[in-house]
Chains A and B, each alone.
Chain A
Amino acid sequence: MHRDTAHLRLRQISVTFGDTTAVAPFDLEVAHNEFVSLVGTSGCGKSTLLNVVAGLIPPTSGTVTLGGHPVGGPGRDRGMVFQKYTLFPWLTAAQNVEFALRDKPDLPRRERRAEALDLLRQVGLGGREDAYPDQLSGGMQQRVAIARALSYRPEVLLMDEPFGALDALTRRVMQDLLTQLWEQHRLTVLFVTHDIEEAVYLSDRVIVMSGTPGQLRREIPIALPRPRNRDLASDERYREACAEAYEEIFTAADTALS
């Protein structure tokens, strides 16, 4: 796979809420088309970090650049998928996707609709475009949320435990969907999760974070072949990567307790 130099770059990002430091100075680089996961126990600052990249939380210090340009507040160059179900309940699935395309002057209403329907088909929701969120299961709602985030073609897709509220089986289906979308759209993804297998399965690189304040513990490159499928579970390298991440997190937890 062709990769440019760093596309998304975090330099010395720290976040302080009042007296508590949520994230200690943190550096991270994500290349074009790279899939990077941040894993760690809850409270390790991984979601905070993602929110900084999204522009929803201003960093206390440090800079975020995307494609060389500094990132201020939120913007359409970054797409976000949240853990909670964030579809607008008064809009149908298609309208929720169209909502993200409303202010594009070059896109007439009809094409907007066509675009939304196409995206819904891609996330496996063809035929459900007129369903309201309360008529869709949690997994389906997250599919719509992903379609919405992809609709305006952000340069990087930020995902904050997007499958965290789903049951284990649905989560696996969604992971497969995401890898397929990633391969097809050549996405750059920064993914936050506390599920190590999920991170290893999806990523090119797993960043293990720990502690309060959150900091980078270890970077684990995942040199597994793509396209990936569930056969990986028996792959030695997959198991090693998972074990390495687990060990890192548990030793971090031990040092924190001792």
Chain B
Amino acid sequence: MTNLVGQDRDSTVGLSRPTPRVPRRPGRFRRTASTAASVTSFFVLLGAWWLITELKWVDKLFLPNPAAVLTRLGELASGGELGEDLGVSVYRVGVGFTLATVLALPLGILMGRYRLWAAVFEPVIDFIRYMPVVAFVPLTILWVGTDDGQKFLIIFIGTFFQQVLLFTDNVRHIPQELIDVGRTLGLSHRRILQRIVVRASAPALWDSLRVSLGWAWTWLVVAELVAATSGLGYRITIAQRYLATETIIGYLLVLGLLGLATDQILRRLGALMFRTATPHK
């Protein structure tokens, strides 16, 4: 077959593109500058903390200085407690979050795609979602005791219902035209769901997953604070009992760093998997 219309004509003629399809890539300078700004904000926070303790504005019982916290963290790390607590908590979040996600993902997708599914589940889920998760702690202890099962359950209750609604919303936001294309291609409902709906909403679903993972951590620590014999939250309660503020703050820092690190990793992974508007040629 011959080339009917030169491929370049369009690009030379189309002086004004209808929409800027290719986003502006930040230059090298801009990228390093923004990284520098992010790092600076951390140092400012650290500096303020150090200054407050140095000037003794606050009793060190309430706010120990950064060095003391770091020393304590070092002790806990070399003593093995930190690793153990972290392991237990990561395991609990892993199981609870996976359970919630595995169930919420198909349900959310079906609810986003089919009105009947939404009509059946959405009001109920919305209703439960408004119940404070904390109030389930005593109830779950009565139901399953204080072992890992109860932690899984709290994480599940805290994330599943939110996830379903997020996923539903993600699926509802995919352009109707993409579904119409599938229909005009003669695809069945099932194929449209598999090949278009799931794939088109995947980047948004991934983002929702990232957000909800943060909540899973929150609810885990809540559960561990109330009734546990291990885990990060448990260690924090014990520390409070002995007025070991360094441990509490140290563990808070660990939780913060853990969240930041996982979020960054998931973000990168998402960009890799979904090719989010970063042209490579």
> How would residues 251 to 269 of chain B score, 1 for a CB under 8 Å from any chain A CB and 0 otherwise?
0000000000000000000
Contact B5 A180 (CB under 8 A): yes
Q: Tell me which residues across on chain A come within 8 A of B177, comparing CB atoms.
A: 82, 84, 86
- When chains A and B are docked, how far (Å) is the Cα of A139 from the Cα of B16? 11
A233 interfacial contact with B, CB 8 Å: no
A4 interfacial contact with B, CB 8 Å: no
CB<8 Å pairs between A and B, sample of 29: A73-B183, A74-B184, A80-B180, A80-B181, A82-B181, A84-B177, A88-B178, A88-B181, A90-B199, A90-B200, A122-B3, A123-B4, A124-B3, A126-B7, A127-B7, A135-B22, A135-B279, A136-B21, A137-B10, A137-B17, A138-B14, A138-B18, A138-B19, A139-B10, A139-B14, A169-B15, A170-B10, A173-B9, A173-B13
Contact B4 A122 (CB under 8 A): yes
Closest A residue to B274 by CB, please name it.
A90
Q: Tell me which residues across on chain A come within 8 A of B277, comparing CB atoms.
A: 134
- When chains A and B are docked, how far (Å) is the Cα of A56 from the Cα of B177? 11
Q: Which 7 A-B pairs have the closest CB atoms?
A: A124-B5, A138-B18, A170-B14, A80-B184, A76-B186, A74-B183, A139-B10
A143 interfacial contact with B, CB 8 Å: yes
> How would residues 89 to 111 of chain B score, 1 for a CB under 8 Å from any chain A CB and 0 otherwise?
00000000000000000000000
Q: Tell me which residues across on chain B come within 8 A of A224, comparing CB atoms.
A: none
Q: How many A-B residue pairs have CB under 8 A?
A: 122
Contact A132 B275 (CB under 8 A): yes
B141 interfacial contact with A, CB 8 Å: no
Q: Chain A's interface: helix, strand, loop or mixed, by majority?
A: loop
Q: Do A140 and B10 form a contact, CB below 8 Å, given A55-B183, A80-B184? A: yes
Contact B184 A167 (CB under 8 A): no
Enumerate chain B interface residues (CB-CB to A < 8 A). 1, 3-7, 9-11, 13-19, 21-22, 175, 177-178, 180-181, 183-187, 191, 195-196, 199-200, 202, 274-275, 277, 279, 281
B205 to chain A, nearest CB (A): 13
- When chains A and B are docked, how far (Å) is the Cα of A79 from the Cα of B195? 19
Set A54, A170, A180: member contacting B4, Cβ < 8 A: A180
A153 interfacial contact with B, CB 8 Å: no
- When chains A and B are docked, how far (Å) is the Cα of A152 from the Cα of B185? 9
Contact A133 B13 (CB under 8 A): no
A27 interfacial contact with B, CB 8 Å: no
> How would residues 102 to 128 of chain A score, 1 for a CB under 8 Å from any chain B CB and 0 otherwise?
110000000000000010011111111
